[in-house]
Amino acid sequence: MSGLLCASFNFIDKTNTIAPAFGFRPMGIGNETDESYLRYASLPREIVCTENLTPWKKLLPCDSKAGLATLLAGGKLFNSMYYSLGLHFRPVPMRPDDAGWSWQLTQTLTVVFDGFVRSKLTGTNGWTLSSLFGRPLDGPCPIASRSRLYVDITDIEQAPGFSLNPAGTTVTEASGMDRKYSYVLYNLLQPSTFAQVKRLNPSVNWDADWDMQSQRPWLHVERFLTGVGLHHGGISSLLHNRHPNRSLTVHHQDTLPWFLRVYSHTLTVTTAGKANPPSYVGYRPARDRERPHQLELLLTLPPATITRVDIQFERALLTWTEYPPDANHGVHICAAVVTAVLPDSDPCTGLCSENSPVSFYRPLVRDTGHLSRLYTQTLLVSLPTPDFSMPYNVVCLTCTVVAIGFGSFHNILTRSFRTRDPAQASGIVRHLANLIRRWRGVPLL
Amino acid sequence: MGLLSDPQSRERVLLFLIRHNSKLCILCYALGLVWFLLLPLPPLSAPTYISENALLPGLVKREFVGGPQALSLSREFAANKALVGGLPVEWLNKTMTSLGLEVHTQTFAVDLPFPDEINERYHVRGTNVQGVVRARRAASTEALVLHVPFLPEANDQAMGLALSLAAHFRKQVYWAKDLIVLVTEHDLLGIQAWLGAYHGINLTSLGVRSSELGGYCGALQAAITLQLSSDVATSIDLQLHGPNGLLPNLDLPNLVHHLCLHAKVLCTVQELLPPQEDNAWWQSMHIMLLQALGQASTKPASEHGLFLRHRVEALGLKAINSHRQEKASLEKLGRLLEGVFRSLNNLLERFHQSFFFYLLPSLQSYVSIGNYAPCAAAILVVLFLCAVELWAKLNPEKERRTREAAASNPASIPWLSVIGSIVIAHGLGIALYLGPLVAHQRAANYFDLPEDEAVSLTALGIGVSSLSLPHRGSTPQGWIWLKLFALLELGMLLLALDLLNFPLAFMLAIPTVPAAVVSQPSHKTASIALLLVASPAVISLMGLAMKTELNPHGPTSGQLGGFIGLFLRWLQCLSQSILEHQSLGTNLYPLFTLGLFPCWLQLWHVALWKE
Amino acid sequence: MIPCIVSQTPMIIYIFHFLIDYSELVFTVVDITTTVILYLSAKKTALYLWEKQKCRKWSVDVSEILLRPKSLHWLPLHVAAAYLLNPLTVATCVARSTCAFHNLLLALLMLATQHNSIMLSAVFLALASYESLYPVVLLFPVILQLAQKEVKGKLMLQNPYLLCFILEYTVVFLGCLSILLMLSYSLLYSSDFIPAVYGFILSVPDLTPNVGLFWYFFTEVFEHFRLFFICIFQLNTFIYTLPLIIVLSDHPQFLMFIQIALLAVFKSYPNLGDVAFYLALLPIWSHLSRYLRNSFLVLCLLLSCGVLFPILWHLWVFSGSANANFYYAATLAFSTAQILLISDYLYAFRRREFHLKYGTDIKTQDGRKMMVELK
């Protein structure tokens, strides 16, 4: 996998892998997967780039030669604000009533484009597919059984001057809490899509002075480091529950490297200044150079509040070979994973029903909401560093001090006191003086 | 180890030290002074260079063209400022959002221990506004800060330029670190509150109440504080030192200087022109002395200094508009700042390559710690030599002792008078430290004075009254033990201070070391005279006088000249230092009261020792 | 396999389970108890030294270096004050370091040895060795001290009574130690604590900076030589035992002092509490001050190190202005100062013994004063 995707998975070893107790559940058929084999690992230092995109695209049936994947050109994709690639494997039944099963590979790509800069450059609000991806769609992938393009117009439907060309099929879905979602569907496999235009290039426009007010998500997490200096420090997570009247139960999972000596007794969870003890705390301490710290919390976030999770740590000094080449950059701490079942009125979860466009990778949970997994920021922790240019000097100086001790004690313990006439010169000087005296003919010492 | 174990050579060295003690002391002291005076000259000062290769200054094409936008934004800011009568938070919020930044505000409240007459504040309430330019596709692990302090009467153009730069930066794709445009109120208190909330730690003894901060951007790598109050500037002045004598990594001022040379903008330090060929030594010395005095005062040169305590390298840029011909427009200054931030963006690691301890005789040369440490060491050796002589007097070797002297118990310590003196001196030091804060209310009510004057006068009162305590010794030789203890304590204090704040240590050492060495009951007049010159009060007065003399601007208008004016300013400085210690965590006042004053008082007791 | 946040023995962890809420009180009480025990022990030591001085034969002219009743009278108070008022002891108490318990056990060991109690001294020695491995070298001075009262005849290896006593005491000591290990095993139901506690002390996996020599050395040493140097350093801690026993067999009190001091310098995780303990024992040997050679230098070095340690730590860790080398240099200076101090006291002791035997004023036949040197 590492070589296939240029993803440095070979750096995953026992020092950054944990076995989570909650939070990750198999999403395929049958729960015969042994939970003791569940592992979670993260490489916070790696960055996703074209080296990962190219092999990812090659896994697609049509590569990037036909269908939706033709839009995925590196130049435009990496000019975005946020970018994420995913590969999901799960076992699924071959046919609905069949006992047999096969593996399903789901590849996801998430890109967030910068609408602000585009609107500043062009002077209008709006976008076209070719302005985002650099080219329009020519046609579907011939071996695809489903090839669809959805444009979410829920928030901009009512904007003054709104227009969408070419027209597609409008799909409206209602969810709980009186929230309606509207999508425009372009089915690439239908011949009518390419009947009017040779190349599909949806363009959306609305008036320049209308400000799009999207609803903010109910759950938002921020994580940051506290403290000053290279000895103590703390990690704080701020979990915002923006729902006006519904409390959320979240699972917060943290993996901290072994060289941050975490003190579990300093864990505090407060909401609006008052203590909010978690309903479950699962903590597995680290072993030096063997496994990381694993902290899992089950928290209840009251409505419209900010909950703060704090924990303190001390930094350890490593041997000089254990530091990365840019030791003064710092080490990266993995993102914490916050899992929650969000109410279906959350604007980011999308629709409820099984047939909705986004349901196949956001499974329904107990008909009440969607499972949502948030990853916080990674953190950069500076570690105290020794002087890397000094191994010989340190060995010499320390051994000198030890030798001073050894020499002094050796002298005092192995020798004994003797008296000496101070007028008498010491051995070799006396011998030389006697030689000179003999030559001069005067009495010897 | 031969020297330590061979009794004959030890004896010879000891005899040499004792016989030529005063000559060696004078020689070492003179050596230290002369070494310091020679520091601005090569080879003790070396030409500056950029150590961190990743900075690559000036290699990118500067594209900032927002000069007119900066000007219009600064006019709008000034107008809104006048309208609101303070920081126009809503206007800033709206403008920053329209420029595409992510805006967060923080309200803070600080209650000072007593009113601050100079800045006219007592219970401080303020708002800080931060606008964040998020780097694309980065995980917000690192950030750079462009800080614009809000000043009621000035700094409008800095605000306009910062906003215009932020708008330009927002459109670029090459940022690897987030950029924070930070606007703080109430100068040092505001930035202190923001840094405390960002790092979750309060480094002062005052309680700062602040709202929850949002928009965390990871570890701060570098910060630039901008002060610009005119539409054009003739020079950029670099403000270096932070609280307690901290300095930014030398790479950062070198970077800005290099880019100024590139952009043909005059860059100065201590607001003085670079030294000319004909008068190089005095002009370099002038610049170096101003830096030394600034560090010795432990007050930060500008708001950037508070970043240094959190291990964030920071620099203050102050644009000065004088009568010179060549003016730099806002656009030129914007390109300069763009170059600085592009270089900082290139950094892979934190600043660690170049020096953290240095003296700058000019921006073209520097004196590293390895070159200025010998003058401190030479002056400390004087104390050590004097201590060796006293020790030898107290513990003569058995070969030099007569039988009669040996029969009595050798050198019994007069415990009561020595320990008594030590305890009293330190107790008075603690009283001097705590007294003004605890008793100023009562003094203000009783004597009907403004509170800050009450603070300074209380401190002065305690200091002067402590001089008159009786000191009667029990044995004629007991003063030697007290002097030895005082010398060792002074030596340790100066050693500790040399590492933390070299200019302050050196300036304290110059008067106190001769006074400490000379003070004896037998040389009463000379001891008292030197001790009075070396007293903490007189040292701080002389420091203030030197700073006023060397100030490139000369005395400000409205200031009284002469000794009365100096004394009144000194009283003000006394209360300011107490206030700064409480609100900012600077250490001048505790150093003088808990460190220097007890040593000095013990030496005073030695000088006035009566049997 | 060795965890590094906590490497204390199971008994301490179990005891602190109950005491953690009153920790300030506990540590203050422990310090005061140690002071009282040291006072009693110093009183017994003074008496012992006085009795010993009366029994020996001296040369002429030695009256000025003999012990005097007046100084012996004040000795216990000096020792108690030197421990209680020592800033290092206060710092250890404020930091709530378990070194305070270690010092208490050593003080109890000294008192039990003074009182010639075989059982108690074996128990305290076993407790001290159980807590940190190194006090096991104190077995020899304790045996020598107890043998002076218990064993008939001269203290020489040929004496069968001495060999019997050594065997007997070692068995008692090992028995106490094994009881403690069994208790710990029963607390945890596994013997994982043995590599966790003793393996940790011997193999030095944690490199947190302290006042000793090991941490920076093992941070910078090449991985290839790590095991070799660990063996060398641990050997260095134990190697002085045999020569010291041979030279100081008649003076087990002084032997114990030197051993405790050497352990404080050369053990793998030294701390300031260990230094405070042996500094408190210095007033017992104040009669050696006449022959000390480097007292002023050592005093200055120790004071400077005491001042430099927090400052250089602050500069490295908090300011980021200095790097690890400055703090490392301070640890080197501190270790050198301690080595100078200990070797100075050893030299002074041996020299005093020499002068007690041959007189203080040795002259040649012509009346010239003779020099005394170590050859």
| DSSP symbol at B595 | I
| A189 pLDDT tier (thresholds 50, 70, 90) | confident
Q: Which two tokens stand for residue B14?
A: 């000891």
In this prediction, residue A354 has a pLDDT band, given cuts at 50, 70 and 90, of: very low
Task: Note the pLDDT tens digit of each residue in B503-522.
Answer: 999 999 999 999 999 998 88
Collect all residues of chain C within an 8 Å Cβ-Cβ radius of residue B309. Answer: 319
Give the pLDDT confidence of A360-401 residue by residue, as tens digits.
444 444 456 677 889 998 999 999 999 999 899 999 999 999
- The structure tokens 């250890």 sit at C92
Task: Read off the DSSP letter of residue B292.
Answer: H
For residue C104, pLDDT over 60 is answered with yes
Q: Does residue A396 sit at the B interface (CB-CB below 8 Å)?
A: no
- Asked if B293 and B543 touch (Cβ cutoff 8 Å), the reply is yes
Judgement on whether residues B292 and B159 belong to the same structural domain of the protein: yes
In the predicted model, is pLDDT for residue A351 greater than 50?
no
Domain spans of chain A, in order of start: 47-205, 219-381, 393-440
Q: What is the mean pLDDT of residues B130-144?
A: 92
With bands split at pLDDT 50, 70 and 90, how would you rate the model's confidence at A353?
very low
Q: Is residue B533 part of a domain?
A: yes
Q: Contacts of residue C295 in chain B, CB cutoff 8 Å?
A: 395
Question: Which is higher by pLDDT, B279 or B384?
Answer: B384
Asked if B358 has any chain C CB less than 8 Å from its own CB, the reply is no
Output the 3-class SS for B454-510: HHHHHHHHHHHHHHHCCCECCCCCHHHHHHHHHHHHHHHHHHHHHHHCHHHHHHHHH
- Is B158 among the domain residues? yes
More confident residue, B521 or A258: A258
- For an interface test with A, the pick among C220, C244, C262, C371 (most A C-beta atoms closer than 10 Å) comes out as C220
Going by pLDDT thresholds of 50, 70 and 90, the confidence category of residue A162 is confident
How far separated are the first and last CA of chain A, in Å rounded? 90
Query: pLDDT band at residue A32, thresholds of 50, 70 and 90?
Result: low
Within 9-68 of A, beta carbons closer than 8 Å to B belong to 44, 47-48
Is residue B334's pLDDT more than 80? yes
Residues of chain B numbered 236-275 and touching chain C (CB < 8 Å)? 246
Chain B residues within an 8 Å CB radius of A85: none
Question: In this structure, are B304 and B449 located in the same domain?
Answer: no
Across A213-231, average pLDDT: 87
What is the per-residue pLDDT for B25?
94
User: What percent of chain B has pLDDT above 90?
Assistant: 64
The mean pLDDT value of chain C amounts to 91
- Chain A interface test: which of C2, C5, C313, C339 (most A C-beta within 10 Å): C5
pLDDT of C1 over the 60 cut:
no
Query: What's the start-to-end Cα distance of chain C, in Å?
Result: 50
- Residue range A415-427: mean pLDDT, rounded: 74
For C75-81, what is the mean pLDDT? 94
Is A187's pLDDT higher than 80?
yes
Determine the 3-state secondary structure of B214 from DSSP: coil
Q: Which of A384, A410, A419 sits opposite C362 (nearest CB)?
A: A419
pLDDT band at B315 (very low <50, low <70, confident <90, very high): very high
Q: Which CATH architecture describes the domain A219-381?
A: Sandwich (2.60)
Percent of chain C whose predicted confidence (pLDDT) is above 70 = 97
Q: How would you write B183-209 as a 3-class SS string?
A: EECCHHHHHHHHHHHHHCCCCCCCCEE
Name residues 241-280 of chain A within 8 A of C (Cβ).
261, 263
- Classify residue B152 by burial, with Cβ atoms within 10 Å: 0-12, 13-18, 19+: exposed
Mean pLDDT, rounded, for B529-557: 85
Identify the pLDDT of residue B349: 92
Query: Between B407 and C363, whose confidence is greater?
Result: C363
Give a yes or no: residue B71 inside a domain: yes
Model confidence band, residue A29 (pLDDT cutoffs 50, 70, 90):
low
**Residues B314/B238, Cβ–Cβ less than 8 Å:** no
What ranges make up the beta strands (E) of chain C?
Answer: 371-374
Res B6: pLDDT: 65
Can you read off the two tokens belonging to residue B482?
Answer: 């007290």
Query: Best of C216, C227, C249 to disrupt the A interface by mutation (most A CBs within 10 Å)?
Result: C216
The mean of the pLDDT values for chain A is: 84
pLDDT at A333: 94
Percent of chain A with pLDDT strictly greater than 70: 85
Number of structural domains found in chain B: 2
- Residue A157 has a pLDDT of 79
A403-417, A419-433, B230-244, range with the lowest pLDDT: A419-433
Q: Which of residues 359-388 of A touch C (CB under 8 A)?
A: 384-387
Instruction: Give the pLDDT confidence score for residue A314 in this predicted structure.
Output: 94
- pLDDT per residue over C16-65, tens digit each? 999 989 999 999 999 999 999 999 999 999 999 998 888 887 877 777 77
* CATH assignment of the domain containing B229: 3.40.630.10
Residue B4 in contact with partner chain C when CB distance is under 8 A: yes
Query: What is the CB-side half-sphere exposure of residue C218 using CA atoms within 13 A?
Result: 26
Rounded CA gap, B373 and B198, in Å?
36
Supply the mean pLDDT for chain B.
89
Which of A228, A320, A404 lies nearest to residue C339, judging by beta carbons? A404
Asked, for residue B501, whether it belongs to a domain, the answer is yes
pLDDT in tens, A267-310: 999 998 899 999 999 999 998 889 999 999 999 999 999 999 99
B200 vs A contacts (CB less than 8 Å): 224, 226-227, 234, 236
- Tell me the backbone φ, ψ of residue B496, rounded to 5 degrees: -60, -40
Enumerate the β-bridge partners of residue A179.
A175
Q: Which residue has the tokens 């005395």?
A: B555
Token pair listed for C127: 């407790």
Predicted pLDDT at B405: 43
**Pair (B313, B423) in one structural domain:** no
Statement: residue B256 has pLDDT above 90: yes
pLDDT surpasses 90 at B214: no
Count Cα neighbours of A134 within 13 Å in the Cβ-side half-sphere. 12
Q: What is the mean pLDDT of residues A33-48?
A: 83
Verify that B437 and B562 share a domain, yes or no: yes
Average pLDDT over residues B463-486: 79
Q: Are A35 and A72 in contact (CB under 8 A)?
A: no
pLDDT at C182: 94
Question: Same structural domain for residues B429 and B344?
Answer: no
Cβ under 8 Å to B: C residues 290-329: 290, 293-297, 300, 303-304, 307-308, 311-312, 314-315, 318-322
* Residue B400 banded pLDDT, cuts 50, 70, 90: very low
Q: Determine contact, residues B349/A329, Cβ cutoff 8 Å.
A: yes
**pLDDT (0 to 100) of residue B471:** 63
Q: In what order do the strands lie in the sheet with B358-359?
A: B46-47, B365-368, B358-359
Chain B contact present for C64, CB below 8 A: yes
pLDDT at B58 over 90: no
Compute the Cα dihedral for A222, A225, A227, A233 and give only its sign.
Answer: positive
**pLDDT band at residue A28 under the 50/70/90 scheme:** low
Quick one: B161 and B252 in the same domain? yes
B459 with B564, same domain: the answer is: yes
Question: pLDDT at position C127, please?
Answer: 95
pLDDT band at B410 (very low <50, low <70, confident <90, very high): very low
Q: Could you tell me if residue B559 is inside a domain?
A: yes
Are the beta carbons of B136 and A411 separated by less than 8 Å? no
Say whether pLDDT at A355 is over 60.
Answer: no
Rounded Cα distance between C204 and C198, Å, is: 10
Q: Does residue B46 lie in a domain region? A: no
Q: Which residues of B touch C322 (CB under 8 A)?
A: 356, 499
pLDDT of residue B437 exceeding 60, the answer is yes
pLDDT score recorded for residue C2: 58
State which of B365, B399, B429 marks the end of a domain.
Answer: B365
pLDDT of amino acid B407? 40
- Examine residue B10 and state whether it is found in any structural domain, yes or no: no
- Domain range for B546 is 417-607
Backbone φ and ψ of B598, nearest 5° = -60, -40
Q: What is the pLDDT of residue C167?
A: 93
| CA dist., res. C322 & res. A386, Å (int) | 11
Cα–Cα distance list, B574 to B317, B438, B545 (Å): 28, 15, 14
What was the pLDDT predicted at C359? 80
Return the pLDDT at C108. 97
Q: Which of B60-64, B411-415, C49-53, C86-90 has the lowest mean pLDDT?
A: B411-415
For an interface test with A, the pick among B136, B164, B204 (most A C-beta atoms closer than 10 Å) comes out as B136
Does residue B440 belong to any structural domain of this protein? Answer: yes
Residue in A closest to B4 by C-alpha: A408
* pLDDT tens profile B157-195: 999 999 999 999 999 989 999 999 999 999 899 999 999
